[in-house]
A = this chain, B = another copy of it.
C-alpha cells in the first residue's frame, strides 16, 4: 500500500482514511442484509443507536422506531440532515453475497421477504459516515447537527410520526432540513432544483357496498363489481380530460378485490388508489374529482356514497430556492459544474419535506448517483428503485453519498 492510499478524498478538503471507507462499506452491507419493514425498524434503530454511542453522540427515540442524534460543536447554525431507514416487502434477486435473507410482518399479519430495495441502507450509512467525520474533525466546523434517522418513509408515516412525537420540542429547530436519495444515475451526478422535487401522493381505500344475491338473480342484487368497474373506467377521464395535458398526474387503481365465489354476486368491492399530483392545487382538484366520480358511479348503481379511507398521504417535497442554490453551489465546487442535472419532475413521492414544512423550516432534497458510470454505457441502465435487482455499487454510493452530504452540511457549519 502506497502512502497515497493513506487517505481518500471524498470532496475538496474532505479526506478520510481507506479504513473509513472500508468500515462504512461493511456497515452498509450489514444494513443491507437485515432490512425491516416500515414502522418496524427495531434492529435498524438499535444498530444506529449503538453506532451513535460509539461516536459519543447523544440520541433519543422519536416517532416509534425513529432515532435522533444531536451533535453539538459550539456556536453556529443548527442543521438537520435526514436519512430514512425502512426496507420493502420485496424478495431480493440481486445475487449479492450480502443480499437480504430476512422476512417481515405485513399489516395484515402475513409475512413477506424484505429487501432494502430503495437504497435507504445507503442513506443510513452515509449519515453515520457524516457523523463519524464530524466527530473526528471537530475543528473543521461549528454549530449543531441534528441527525434525523426517520422510519417509515415508504408509507409516508415516519416524518409525520416524528413530528407528532414532539421532534422539534426535543431537538433544536434547524435552519434547514437536508435530505438525499440514492438513484440509478452515475455516481458524481446529482439531481437538484428549486420547487417541487417529487409528486404529492395520496392513497385511498374505497369500499363500494352493493347488495349480495345469488349469481342467477341479478335483480335481487346491486352488483358492486359492475359499479367498481365503472368507477375504474371513469377515473381514467380525470387525467385524460380534466387536467391540462402538461400536468403530470397519475390516478392508479392498484387493487380491486370483490367476491368469494363465481355464482354469488358479492356485497362489496374494495378498490385501492394511488394518486400522484405535482402540486397542492392539482392535488385538491384531482382528489375532488376522484370523490365525485366514486360517488356518482355508486349513485348510478343506486347505492350510497362508498367508504373512502386514507391509507397514506405523501406531502409535498418542496426545495427552498435560496437554500437549494447554496447546496448546489457546494456541489458544483465539490463535483464540478456538470455534476448537477436539472431533471424533470419525477412521479415518485417522499415525506422528508414534512420534517421542515411542519415548522416552517426550509428543505433541500437531492438525488445522488450510486452506480458506476459504466452501467449506463451503450444505452444500458441498471435496475431501478423497488426492483428486486436494485443494487447500488457500495463504494460509489458510500463515497459520493457521504461526500455530497458532507459538502452540504459543511456549507452551513463549516469554518
Residues of A within 8 A of B (CB): 199, 201, 203-205, 214-219, 221, 223, 225-226, 228-230, 232-266, 269, 272-274, 276, 289, 292-293, 295-297, 299-302, 311, 344-349, 386
A-B CB contact pairs (8 Å), 10 listed: A216-B245, A216-B349, A236-B237, A236-B241, A237-B301, A245-B276, A254-B263, A255-B266, A292-B302, A299-B299
- Sort A-B residue pairs by CB-CB distance and give the 5 closest, nearest first: A255-B259, A216-B347, A262-B272, A296-B300, A229-B229
Given A223-B241, A252-B262, A255-B258, 6 additional A-B pairs, CB 8 A: A217-B347, A219-B245, A228-B229, A229-B229, A245-B248, A245-B249
Q: Which residues in B have their C-beta under 8 angstroms from that of A219?
A: 241-245, 247
CA distance A245 to B232 in the complex (A): 18
Shortest Cβ gap from A284 to chain B (Å): 14
Q: Which residues in B have their C-beta under 8 angstroms from that of A347?
A: 216-217, 245-246
Q: Which residues in B have their C-beta under 8 angstroms from that of A297?
A: 296, 300
Q: Which residues in B have their C-beta under 8 angstroms from that of A302?
A: 289, 292
CA distance A254 to B218 in the complex (A): 11
Shortest Cβ gap from A221 to chain B (Å): 7
Shortest Cβ gap from A314 to chain B (Å): 10
CA distance A115 to B308 in the complex (A): 34
CA distance A263 to B252 in the complex (A): 7
Whether the pair B221, A226 counts as a contact (CB closer than 8 A) is no
Known: A230-B233, A256-B229, A265-B252. A246 touches B293 (CB 8 A): no
Shortest Cβ gap from A116 to chain B (Å): 17
Q: Which residues in B have their C-beta under 8 angstroms from that of A257?
A: 256-259
Whether the pair B234, A232 counts as a contact (CB closer than 8 A) is no
Interface residue from B201, B264, B296 paired with A263 (Cβ < 8 Å): B201
Shortest Cβ gap from A237 to chain B (Å): 5
Number of copies of this protein chain within its complex: 4
Whether the pair B199, A274 counts as a contact (CB closer than 8 A) is no
Interface residue from B199, B217, B256, B259 paired with A269 (Cβ < 8 Å): B256
* Of listed A247, A256, A346, residue having the most chain B CB within 10 A: A256
Known: A233-B226, A254-B265, A263-B252. A240 touches B242 (CB 8 A): no
CA distance A258 to B272 in the complex (A): 10
Q: A244: nearest residue on chain B (CB-CB)?
A: B219
Q: Which residues in B have their C-beta under 8 angstroms from that of A235?
A: 240
CA distance A239 to B348 in the complex (A): 19
CA distance A198 to B229 in the complex (A): 30
Whether the pair A256, B254 counts as a contact (CB closer than 8 A) is no
Q: A347: nearest residue on chain B (CB-CB)?
A: B216
Whether the pair B246, A248 counts as a contact (CB closer than 8 A) is yes
Interface residue from B253, B263, B300 paired with A274 (Cβ < 8 Å): B263
* Of listed A219, A240, A243, A302, residue having the most chain B CB within 10 A: A240
Whether the pair A226, B215 counts as a contact (CB closer than 8 A) is no
Q: A289: nearest residue on chain B (CB-CB)?
A: B302
CA distance A264 to B243 in the complex (A): 17
CA distance A237 to B221 in the complex (A): 12
Whether the pair A250, B293 counts as a contact (CB closer than 8 A) is no
Shortest Cβ gap from A390 to chain B (Å): 12
Whether the pair A226, B218 counts as a contact (CB closer than 8 A) is no
Shortest Cβ gap from A5 to chain B (Å): 41
Interface residue from B242, B256, B348 paired with A218 (Cβ < 8 Å): B242
Interface residue from B204, B226, B289, B386 paired with A236 (Cβ < 8 Å): B226
CA distance A249 to B245 in the complex (A): 6
Whether the pair A254, B245 counts as a contact (CB closer than 8 A) is no
Whether the pair A254, B259 counts as a contact (CB closer than 8 A) is yes
Q: Which residues in B have their C-beta under 8 angstroms from that of A214?
A: 386
CA distance A135 to B201 in the complex (A): 61
CA distance A258 to B344 in the complex (A): 31
Known: A239-B239, A269-B256. A274 touches B230 (CB 8 A): no
